[in-house]
Structure 1
């Protein structure tokens, strides 16, 4: 029955990630970090629910693999944006130089 506090930690992480995402207006790096907080928090919640249901299946590894792919794609977009505009400001995406 210890999975309920773990799910609660995941919910708090999702809320913190949402506040960070809303607060970030300039840097794309901050937006990517807040999305990683979302991913890890949802992973913690999924892990807690699956552990509570009785067994650990491969769904945790699949979700973690998707999270790693999301992080790699975000990093490649960040590097491409910095190479093309010279900074990681979100305003560089809006101006159409990307």
Structure 2
């Protein structure tokens, strides 16, 4: 049963990587796929640590860092939408920055 859960978390990570590479047209899609990757890593870490009988404090620290990453990504998304009008990468120009 444990092996199936680990395989599911690895599939989650690869699906997140695939969607990150495939749907890179909008910033929101990229941020959502990054959060899906973080969720897969969190699930795999929590399963591994609970199976080995270790402490869960490291998993909580990782969850805190993932929440901070999500908040930073959302603030970046808000600032990009305010300055450029949308989150499409085709509308960005290196000359404007």
Same fold judged by TM-score > 0.5?
A: yes
For residues 68 and 92 of structure 1, what CA distance do their matches in structure 2 show? 28
Q: Where in structure 1 do 4 or more consecutive aligned residues deviate above 4 Å?
A: none
Q: CA RMSD in A?
A: 1.4
Residue 92 (structure 1) shift: 3.8
* Residue pair 2:46, 2:56 contacting (<8 A) in 1 also: no
TM-score, length of structure 2 as denominator length:
0.90
* Residue pair 1:3, 1:51 contacting (<8 A) in 2 also: no
* Partner residue in 1 for 2:52: 53
- Structure 2: stretches of 5+ with no match in the other structure: none
- Structure 1: stretches of 5+ with no match in the other structure: none
- How many residues in Structure 1 have an aligned counterpart in Structure 2? 96
* Residue pair 1:4, 1:48 contacting (<8 A) in 2 also: no
TM-score, length of structure 1 as denominator length:
0.89
* Partner residue in 1 for 2:40: 41
